[in-house]
Amino acid sequence: MIKNIEMGFRIMFGAAVLLIADMAYGQTTVDLTARITPPATAGVVIRWFTDAGHTNPVADPTQVVSTSTPTNYWAFFYDTAGDCYSSGAKVTLMDAACPVTTVNLKALPGGDAPNLVWHSAPVPVTGDTEVPDPTAAGPGTYWAFFFDAAQDCYSPASSPVIVQGECSLPVSLLYFDAVAEGTGALLKWATASEENSKGFEVQRSADAKHWRNLGFVEAKSVNGVSVRELKYSFTDAAPPSRQNYYRLKMIDLDGTFAYSNIAVVRNNESIVYTFPNPTSGLIRLTQAGLVNAGKIELINMEGKVVYKANGMTAEGINVKGLVAKGVYLLKVYQSDGIQSSYKVMLTD
């Protein structure tokens, strides 16, 4: 079983490099499990280790601390029935200066090889997805290809290089969600604590690369300081496209800033939705929503996670008897790092 799926695993995630930004006063933790879509094959799971020989398991791959020293981790497909492992996929985790502005992709091992080109998509499109300056690439996900100019053809994609530019500011963000509401989008977020917080710049993008400022929400904290939960909201009344991405630029009083996670909203014309809705307990996603789905969470209107799972199959999940009736957000963590939220109503 392992051999049948191992090749796709190695091509998809052979040796990714995660560069994580961190501030001096806090540690950054990374969820490694969110970087790989769980295998659909029954009996096959993903296991994380600190060595290539899969002898030292990672205690909690959802809470791995990054440091200034590059640290390697390996992911393996494990066949529970056959008790065997696939070849390992190495991930190098390291801190970068905060905030991350640019990274020299050519400085990575093999990154400056002859005829090697960098793109911002796993399927290159000439004139569209090329990285303008690989020596100064901002936060995002990138793939390398060998390009034959004479034949106008590309080699298969390299493993992804993920440059994550978020920073751990004094604002402790509990959640940031965006859901379709009528023809618009409703954004909600909350902070557990704030220190020297000025406020939040709300940004929107049609492609998760080019961002536009929609407005500014001032911090509710007194003089920028709060030790209690504060809730915020913002309405985008007229999103221009069928699918829109949102993020927060969290700004400190001294001008330091960091970005939140990215939330995606698809309007009612999209083919991605939950069903049945309302539901007595069974929650399913349309096939388009399952393509890149990884970890999922069910969140109540207070922002508390009441149910979570490592993935969702076509059969869906059944939370009947596990949570109370009411309105919830189903948050789906996609393998490309994007988070999607869907409003779900649970009945008796």
Read off the pLDDT of residues 226-258 as tens digits, 9 standing for 90 and up. Answer: 888 999 999 998 787 778 889 999 888 878 787
CA 348 to each of CA 26, 174, 187, 323: distance values in angstroms, whole numbers, following the listed order: 44, 29, 28, 10
CA 122 to each of CA 13, 154, 332: distance values in angstroms, whole numbers, following the listed order: 11, 11, 21
User: For 29-53, how does the pLDDT look when each residue is reduced to its tens digit (9 = 90+)?
Assistant: 677 776 665 666 778 888 999 888 8
Residue 317, classified by CB atoms within 10 Å of its CB into exposed (0-12), middle (13-18) or buried (19+), is buried
Does 7 score more than 60 pLDDT? no
Query: 225: phi > 0 → left, psi -120 to 50 → alpha, else beta; which?
Result: beta
Least confident of 20-24, 38-42, 165-169, 336-340: 20-24
User: For 284-329, how does the pLDDT look when each residue is reduced to its tens digit (9 = 90+)?
Assistant: 876 555 656 778 888 888 888 888 888 777 778 888 888 888 888 8
User: For 70-106, how does the pLDDT look when each residue is reduced to its tens digit (9 = 90+)?
Assistant: 678 888 888 888 888 877 777 766 555 555 556 788 8
Neighbours of 166 (CB within 10 A): 21
